[in-house]
Every structure is written in C-alpha cells, then in structure tokens.
Amino acid sequence: MKKITTNTTPANTPPKKKYTMLKFIAIMVISMLVGAVVGGTMAAFLDNTDTASAALLSWLAAVLPTVHWVVFALLTVVSFGLYFAARTVVFAFERSGSENEKLSERADTLITFSMLANSLNMIFVYCIFGMLCALPMVLNLENSINVLVLFATIIVTTAHNVYSIKLYKRLAPEKRGDPLDFKFGKEWIDSCDEAEKMLIYKASYSTYKLMQVVLLAVWVLTAILGPFFDIGIYPMVIITIIWLAHTVGYQLSAIKLGKEKLNR
Amino acid sequence: MPLHNRLRELRARDSLNQGELGTLAGVSRQTISLIERGDYSPSVTLALKLAAIFHTSVEDLFSYTEEE
C-alpha cells in the first residue's frame, strides 16, 4: 500500500518536560514542611486565640456598618461613571456611521468594566450584610440603615444591568434577551455567534481552573482559621458544596455535551 | 498569523460596512472585525457563507501560509 505523504510540516509539539515527577514530589515535600510549621505555630498560639478573635469581632462590629454604605456609594459612583462614559462613546460610534472600530472596542471595554464594578458592588454589599447578620453585637436598630443599603443595592445593580445590556445592544443589535427575564442567559447565549461563544468558552474554562485553586486555598484558610474563630463545621460544609457543584457540574456538562452536536 | 484574508478588500469593493456584512453572514460586527484582523479563524460554515456573499471561493477569500 502506497504511503501517503504531505508537504505540510507537522504541528509544532512542545518538547517533553523533564523531571516533572521530581518537581511534583519536591513541591509536595515543601508543602508538608510548611504545613507542619504553620500547624505547630497555630498550636502554640491557640491558647491566646479567644482574646484575639473577640478583639477582631469587636473591631468588625464597629467598622462594618459604616464600611457597608461607603462601599455601596463608591462602587455605585464607579459603575455608573463608567456606564455614562461608555454611553458617550457608543453615541460617538453611532455618529461615525458604525464604522469606527476603535470607538466600538473602547465602548465594549467600558461597558465590561462598568458591569464588573456593578457585580463587585452587589457581592461586597451582600457579603458585608451577611457578616453584620452574623455579628450578634450588631443586631439592633442601628443596622436598619444597612438593611436599606441592601435593598438599595438590589435596585441599583438591577437597574445598572438593564441599562448596560440595552447600551450593549446598540453596539450589537443582533443580541437578544431581556435582563429582567429569567430566560435571559439562554436567549443571550443563543444569540451569540461562534467567535463570541469561543470567547465565553475560553473565559469560562479559565475561571474553572482559577476556581480549583481558589477553592483549595479557601479550604486551607478555613482549616487554619477555624480554631481561632470557633466557626464550627458550617463553613467547611459550604465549601464542600461549592467544590462539588463546581467539579461535578463541569464533568457532567462535559459528558452531556460529548453526546450532542457541539457547533449547533 | 497563518490565515490571511481579503475580507476588507472585498468589503470595500462591494461598499459594505462590517455591520452589514455581519448581518448578511449571520454574525456580529465584532466577529467580522476579528476575522479581518486575523484574530479569529472562522468555521468552515462561516467561511463558506462569506465566500458566497462575495461570489467567490473560500480559497480566493482566505489563504493559509505555514509559519516558519
């Protein structure tokens, strides 16, 4: 049988890395030594943790009610500031006959950062409110302003999302979906073309890999800080649930997608 | 970037802007921009659609050169 040859050069394959097993073993040994030192240090200070943790909780109870609304105010100003800057650029892009690529890219970047600031606003306000609820000395009428901040955040971040999506649709009129609709995520991604889906895939996979590291780091942190703050098993249970959802969710999606048409 | 294209040239010939070409091809203006810059290689389906819009062949619209 005649051997088929081609004139094309084979795809560049990276050289095989040497000593990967040795490097892995070295990292494991160093990690064990660091863990032993940290554990020993923790044991030495464990008797003095009650005072330290009580002082920290008192300090948090004093500053968090103020930090709560300051964070909300700052991030609202930032997110809407970026939104209005993006709006100006979108209008300039439309006046250029939708031809100026640089204006389009700038508008896209500004909208993205605006939505990032908006998301950070929601996350920080929710988390700080959660901390306030967990601090028993803060549970009094004074934190009614913090309840108002929470409600204001819901309204402000939702409004920001709606305005940002509407603004983005001026750049990309083919996009579908109403951000107030529960089916928005599906409709939006169904209206994305192949390049946009590729971008979403790459960003999602990058986040998946980051989360594997973050979840491990959070587990280590919770295990170390647990004795200091007497937090019980609840945080570990929550971390486990998130870790399972993250890993099993991805694997099951991959199995399901492997049986479907990938590029429909 | 090994995949070259004549998208911008043919677009100018037919007086189409990126948005109009995107609408004809069923993709976004941003995707057309990415393809023209060589930052994205279209799928076979999209390449065939683009070639049909310009009444040309895929080989005439896109060319591939080996990286040294």
Closest CA to A129 of A74, A75, A69, A56: A69
A chain contacts of residue B28, beta-carbon cutoff 8 Å:
172, 174-175, 192-193, 195-196
- How much is the pLDDT for A7? 52
ipTM here:
0.84
| Residue pLDDT, tens place only, B13-28 | 999 988 899 999 999 9
Probe site for chain A from B7, B20, B21, B28 (most A CB atoms < 10 A): B28
The reply to whether residue A9 touches residue B66, judged by beta carbons under 8 angstroms, is: yes
- Dihedral sign from CA coordinates of B46, A96, A106, A171: negative
pLDDT band at A10; cut points 50, 70, 90? low
B chain contacts of residue A174, beta-carbon cutoff 8 Å:
22-23, 28
| Residue pLDDT, tens place only, A204-245 | 999 999 999 999 999 988 888 877 777 788 889 999 999 999
Task: List the single residue in B with minimal CA-CA distance to A264.
Answer: B45
Single-letter residue type at A115: M
B18, B19, B27 ranked by CB distance to A193: nearest: B27
Closest CA to A104 of A91, A123, A117: A91
| Residue pLDDT, tens place only, A56-92 | 888 888 888 899 999 999 999 999 999 999 999 999 9
Please name the residues in contact with B56: beta carbons below 8 A apart, sequence gap of 6 or more: B10
Nearest-CA distance from B31 to chain A in Å? Answer: 6
Interchain CB contact of A109 with B (< 8 Å): no
Task: List the single residue in B with minimal CA-CA distance to A171.
Answer: B29
B chain contacts of residue A263, beta-carbon cutoff 8 Å:
43, 45
The reply to whether residue A194 touches residue B46, judged by beta carbons under 8 angstroms, is: yes
Average pLDDT over every residue of A14-23: 77
The reply to whether residue B29 touches residue A98, judged by beta carbons under 8 angstroms, is: yes
**Distance of alpha carbon A181 from alpha carbon B36, whole angstroms:** 35
Q: How many residue pairs bridge chain A and chain B with CB atoms within 8 Å of each other? A: 47
- How much is the pLDDT for A34? 85
Neighbours of A77 (CB within 10 A): 12
- How much is the pLDDT for A102? 87
B66 touches B1 (CB < 8 A): no
The pTM score is: 0.80
B17, B31, B45 ranked by CB distance to A195: nearest: B31
Interchain CB contact of A27 with B (< 8 Å): no
- How much is the pLDDT for A57? 80
Average pLDDT over every residue of B26-40: 91
- How much is the pLDDT for A50? 67
Closest CA to A171 of A214, A116, A112: A112
| Residue pLDDT, tens place only, A143-195 | 578 889 999 999 999 999 999 999 999 988 889 999 889 999 999 999 999 99
Worst-scoring range by mean pLDDT, A112-116, A140-144, A256-260? A140-144
Nearest-CA distance from B53 to chain A in Å? Answer: 18
- How much is the pLDDT for A251? 92
| Residue pLDDT, tens place only, A93-118 | 999 887 788 899 899 999 999 999 99
- How much is the pLDDT for A31? 87
pLDDT band at B12; cut points 50, 70, 90? very high
Beta strands in chain A (DSSP E): none
